[in-house]
Structure 1
């Protein structure tokens, strides 16, 4: 009888523990389904530009495709790219950053390998000082190597241009890049076709700067969404959402609406294209998938 009583007591205890576990699992699943993904990205100096708005819209589009509940908000303070990438690596303040990829960034962070600008981040037109307009009017492609360009110290483009034989002056940050040009301490500034239109509308940033009219540099380059190495669930969520947006055409629709008018305004189809190599491009870059890249 004592054995039966002990067995009954143990069975009752086991049933209670199982019920407790089941309740916890049920509550956890309920919480997960009701959870809101809080996405925080770095506030930038060009917050109001079309290319910045495009990426935020693309981020929201990818999340909406998955059916999850979400909020997408910037940090309170402006974060320059280098600091934002370091914060993401340390899992501080931000959980998504978008940036041009290179081997070091893919080592430090977790990339979602879908080029958000379809490669246009590597299409570069040249800004020059208005005083050089006449001098640059008959510029031959080979003459560019003898001129000084300027780029940010931590930008991948600095190493890419140098690897292709260009002379590059380093500036400490984004603002100083343009100040260097305004002081005529460099001959030209290569800027991406997705960025330069908005920058030319900023009178303080590009005062006395004009576009060189003949050339566009192009090197294979991809800008990705990056997340912290440990945030694999968010990475899979963004990957799934972007894949869905590509499949149903909404990615291309957003891209075309945003960038085709810019390319036309910059007269890109009629420019001489100078193709450069990119030694910083990671081997995993999906160059073989034409659906992910723009070709004119």
Structure 2
């Protein structure tokens, strides 16, 4: 399994717990597993390439693209039950008043978002007219918010608050701020991927995660994990405004029709 993208990547522990628990549930049918981590972190594209090399890397979390769905074997249960697609924004404190004046999607589109170079999110946002700066390293996002390289860093409501808290605790001299009275939403799940040769591992994680959905454990993990619990209760978003962005690139293999796998926010249009 991959290590943290950076020290700010506090959602990594959630992924580890999910793999661990789903493996534990499936152990009676598939046998035991042991989680080990790569010694170094590489870019997402480089990491995905390693899935095809036996014994180097077995499982990676990634947003789906048509190319990834064809090249690798996906576990088709959204890791954050769809909440990853609801994006709050991390901004510099100096920019916060400007964001608080936004009343239309066109105003937000005039500002610049930071995104990862290989993240599908960058393409999704650009397809709808958003301005995006692509950044190679995760920690660079926070640096660019300070130096004006971008205006905001959209993060899932299941991850952004924990990342922001960690960053501010470790950078008290240059804190960042949250802006979440407006959310951006596009349907993009995070899913686990393995190689086509690793079908037994895929079946094991799929089985365990489906059981976690059925018995409520996956939603309970979301509600109780220190990183994701800030998204709950979902009723807290009823007064937020959501700008909906279509994801024209979402592969048809993603099980959007399985309603039990997805959580939704009810809010202002």
Tell me which interval the TM-score lies in, with the shorter structure as reference length. Answer: 0.7 to 0.9
Asked which structure has the greater CA Rg, the reply is 1
Query: Is contact 1:98-1:224 (8 Å) kept?
Result: yes
Deviation per CA, 1:42-74: give whole Å up to 9, x if none: 111357865222221111111111222121121
- Indicate how the Cα distance of structure 1 residues 200 and 128 shifts in structure 2: closer, same or farther if over 3 A, else same: same
Aligned to 1:37: none
- Distance (Å, rounded) in 1 between the aligned partners of 2:229 and 2:239: 14
Aligned to 1:261: 229
The correspondence of residues 83-232 of structure 1 with structure 2, limited to 5 A, is 83-91=46-54, 93-141=56-104, 142-201=106-165, 202-203=167-168, 204=170, 207-232=174-199
Aligned to 2:204: 237
Choose the corresponding residue for 2:14, options 51, 54, 57: 54
SS at match of 2:45: helix
Q: Identify, as 1 or 2, the structure richer in helix.
A: 1
Cα RMSD of the aligned pairs, angstroms, is: 2.3
In structure 1, stretches of 5+ residues that fail to align are: 1-40
- What is the number of residues matched between the two proteins? 256
Choose the corresponding residue for 1:294, options 232, 253, 263: 263
Higher relative contact order (CA 8 A, sep 6+): 2
- Distance (Å, rounded) in 2 between the aligned partners of 1:144 and 1:265: 26
SS at match of 2:2: strand
Aligned to 1:250: 217
TM-score under structure 1 normalisation?
0.79
Aligned to 1:270: 239
- Distance (Å, rounded) in 2 between the aligned partners of 1:280 and 1:94: 26
Displacement of 1:205: 6.8
SS at match of 1:69: coil
SS at match of 1:71: coil
SS at match of 1:89: coil
Residue range with higher mean Cα deviation, 155-164 or 244-253? 244-253
Q: Identify, as 1 or 2, the structure richer in strand.
A: 1
- Indicate how the Cα distance of structure 1 residues 215 and 159 shifts in structure 2: closer, same or farther if over 3 A, else same: same
TM-score under structure 2 normalisation?
0.87
4+ aligned runs moved over 6 Å, structure 1: none
Query: Is contact 1:129-1:184 (8 Å) kept?
Result: no
Residue range with higher mean Cα deviation, 238-247 or 226-235? 238-247
Query: Is contact 1:148-1:167 (8 Å) kept?
Result: yes
- Indicate how the Cα distance of structure 1 residues 173 and 69 shifts in structure 2: closer, same or farther if over 3 A, else same: same
- Indicate how the Cα distance of structure 1 residues 260 and 96 shifts in structure 2: closer, same or farther if over 3 A, else same: closer
- Distance (Å, rounded) in 2 between the aligned partners of 1:211 and 1:245: 31
SS at match of 1:43: coil
Aligned to 2:4: 44
Deviation per CA, 1:190-238: give whole Å up to 9, x if none: 1111221121122357934211242001111111111112111211122
Displacement of 1:135: 2.2
